[in-house]
Structure 1
Amino acid sequence: MVRLVAAALVMFGMSGCTSDPPPVAAASAERVRPVVASTSSASGPREIVVSGPVTVEEQLDVVALRAGVIVAMPVDVNSEVEKGQVMARLDARQLEADRATSEHKAESVDADLKNWESELQVKEADLRRAEAMHKEGISTQEAYDHSLYEVTASKYEVERQRGDELSAKDSVRSIDLELEKTRIVAPFRGVVSQRYVRQGQYVTVGEKLFRVIGRSSLEVRFTLPATEAQLLRRGDVVTVSATTDFKESTAATVTHLSPVVDPGSGTIEVVAVVKDRLRGLIPGTMASIRIAGTR
């Protein structure tokens, strides 16, 4: 019995000495890289398929340039607008009243200016007569100096009235600029894609009112690993589709390649202009881009 126990202890010690340590995961030490789908064959060039958002260059959020209450909104989502078309109006009654007051003041100042210009002409005629009489010895030096003083004073008054006239006209123009801000107009020809406000709402300066998308060409933006940057040059053509199977596709011309690599992702940004619009290829969606690597 003692021999059996000793043998068991010897076998247990041998098995403990030969046990291996647990494996260490090596995947965590690998650097994460951008993933692109690539295909290659012996008969054709290597291809890369990436994805990226569809954008349009003419895309803008129209904001309020003046605070006020929206009293009219003739357009809505999906409304087609022309450049300069009014999309909304703010309450402008106070500004219109202020403009009428400023315009009346400008007219009054203009009348005063004409009156002083006429008065100056009379004073100048008096001065010429006083000068002639002084030369003939009919009038005294004091009479001539008095006429000269009146002409000088009238000239200063005319200059003051001209300044008042310019100030009054500038006031009218300033109110006109504020009135323009009460009319929210389309910045370019396009379609209203979003409406952020409603009629009767009070808006503040800088508040978003509409988003307008223009009729310019569509663009696709995507990234490539820096190791694949040599595959594209400006002016190259890539294939774009709204689906991953590329059943319907169109060409797109590369217009921009970032000259630097993003250190965080190790990629470069690429922009390409789409030649033809496809069904499903609309701004905001993700497109599939196929790049034929010939370099």
Structure 2
Amino acid sequence: MVRLVAAALVIFGMSGCTADPPPVAAAPAERPRPVMASAPSASAPRAIVVTGPVTVEEQLDVVALRSGVIVAMPVDVDSEVEKDQVMARLDARQLEADRATAEHKAESVDADLKNWESELQVKEADLRRAEAMHKAGISTQEAYDHSIYEVTASKYEVERQRGDELSAKDNVRSIDLELEKTQIVAPFRGVVSQRYVRQGQYVTVGEKLFRVVGRSSLEVRFTLPAEDARLLRRGDVVTVSATADFSESTPASVTHLSPVIDPGSGTIEVVATVKDRLPGLIPGTIASIRIAGAR
């Protein structure tokens, strides 16, 4: 047994004295693991960009309130107008003649009224005299009753004439209102953006004549999906631009949020008032609106 152990030690020593150790295989290089992008946090704010038309609160199509021929048109497109400034006139000669006739009729009725009021005063004086004579036993009861009847009839006639006078004056006022309708006036201060008719044209009731755009602040109208309704409240500020890249922008304050959701589209309507006017941000254009983030 001792010999076997000694032989093993001799063999082990001889192997340890070799010049070159046996080669060791290199471990394979570890491949880089792909880095997964982290998902955004559910609470992180997000921005939404929508589009909507630019409008103004004071924007109105002025229509004809009566039929007639346009005989004058002192304004045109791009003309600045003041409130109640005349923009066009219709032919009013027939109405002017009718008014003169109605005014003469009113004056005649007024004269008749004064005549009957004077007649009533005479009848009342006769009644007082007849009453005194009846009390003195000078006149009969029939004569006294006749005087009472005369006074009563005169009072009714005076009331009738007063009604006729009011009717005649109302007729004059009615014609005056029709005369006012022959003058098409600006509803507010602004600029004429469109003209639909020309001088000499016959227009009918309700026909559009001009479009007037006021000087009030610009507004943007847009819609949001129902699930994003919580993003905005009245008074919040959004960013508005005439271009999609928001190279130039202006803040706008939310002034209106629809209280109901449109069942057809599942959206709500939002209106915001623009603070500053930008080049290209004019009524009728489509603006880009950016909502900063969720609450």
Q: Scaled by the length of structure 2, what TM-score is found?
A: 0.83
CA distance in 1, matches of 2:267, 2:119: 79
Q: Distance in 1 between matches of 2:191 and 2:156?
A: 57
Deviation of 1:255 (Å): 1.2
Deviation at 1:256, TM superposition (A): 1.4
Residue 16 (structure 1) aligns with? none
Larger Rg: 2
Task: Please tell me whether residue 74 in structure 1 is matched to residue 86 in structure 2.
Answer: no
Q: Distance in 1 between matches of 2:258 and 2:170?
A: 47
1:211-251: CA deviation from partner (whole Å, max 9, x where unpaired): 11111111001112222222211111001011112121110
What residue is the counterpart of 1:92 in the other structure? 92
Q: Percent identity?
A: 90
Query: Partner of 1:202 in structure 2?
Result: 202
- TM alignment of 1:4-83, pairs within 5 A: 45-83=45-83
Q: Which residue of 2 aligns with 1:107?
A: 107
Q: 2 CA distance for matches of 1:247 and 1:198?
A: 41
Q: d(CA) in 1 for partners of 2:180 and 2:261?
A: 45
* Bigger shift: residues 154-163 or 194-203: 154-163
1:262 matches 2:262: yes
1:3 is matched with none
Q: Which residue of 2 aligns with 1:181?
A: 181
Q: 1:273 matched to which residue of 2?
A: 273
Matches within 5 A, 1:151-162: 151-162=151-162
Confirm whether residue 226 of structure 1 aligns to residue 218 of structure 2: no
**Aligned in 2, Cα 1:141/1:52: closer, same or farther, shift over 3 Å?**
same
Distance apart, 1:259 and its partner CA:
2.4
Segments of 4+ in structure 1 off by > 6 A?
none
Map of 2:29 onto structure 1:
none
Q: How many residues align?
A: 255
- Describe the SS at the equivalent of 1:212: strand
CA distance in structure 1 between the aligned counterparts of 2:280 and 2:150, rounded to whole angstroms: 82
Offset of residue 266 of structure 1: 2.5
Q: Secondary structure at the match of 1:271?
A: strand
CA drift at 1:260: 2.4
Counterparts of 1:156 and 1:269, CA distance in 2: 64
Distance 2:153 2:257 in 1: 70
User: What's the offset of the Cα at 1:41?
Assistant: 10
1:258 and 1:102 map into 2 onto residues whose CA distance is 52
Higher mean C-alpha deviation, range 56-65 or range 135-144: 135-144
Alpha-carbon separation, structure 2, partners of 1:124 and 1:275: 75
Give deviations 1:84-131, integer Å, cap 9, x for gaps. Answer: 111111100000000000000100100110011011101110110111
